[in-house]
Structure 1
């Protein structure tokens, strides 16, 4: 079974990397498990949104970039509702 042209294990590794990059970019401190979750969920959600506009991307690099953007957006949305920590 594959997610956007990458396997499940690769999706976890790439999602973790994308979440970690988003964490560093957004200057948040969420932890390893949350990085993986944000990276994977961010990639899946953003790919679903892009699919609505008939834009589909496959491969590990596209998954990393889309995961990074999606995770950054999720962190920003999370901050809007929760507020920023000092």
Structure 2
């Protein structure tokens, strides 16, 4: 149960920071959390594919989630045509 709360917290932080980095207003609180969580999964997959282990602390996890969320947001904006 605690890991779900962890994912939501990391997703919220990553989604909010990604909204600021990508020069947009974000997608709203719930969608920012979802983009952050999916971004964390994407970022974790990319890092494992590059040979980095999944072990890390909170800062590492948030950075990887932001990386994945930025990639996801970029792809979403390409598909939907939404620009900042």
- Quick check: TM above 0.5? yes
Q: Using the TM superposition, give the Cα deviation of residue 85 of structure 1 relative to its aligned residue in structure 2, in angstroms.
A: 4.1
Residue segments in structure 2 that go unaligned for 5+ positions in a row: none
Answer 1 or 2: which has greater strand percent. 1
Quote the residue 2:5 is aligned against. Answer: 9
Aligned match of 2:44 in 37, 42, 47? 47
Q: How does 1:20-59 map to 2 (within 5 A)?
A: 20-28=16-24, 29-57=26-54, 58-59=56-57
Q: How many residues align?
A: 82
**How far apart in 1 are the matches of 2:49 and 2:10?**
23
Greater than 6 Å deviation, 4+ residue runs: none
TM-score (norm 2): 0.83
**How far apart in 1 are the matches of 2:68 and 2:50?**
16
**How far apart in 2 are the matches of 1:62 and 1:85?**
29
Alpha-carbon RMSD across the aligned residues, in angstroms, is 1.8
TM-score (norm 1): 0.81
**How far apart in 1 are the matches of 2:67 and 2:48?**
15
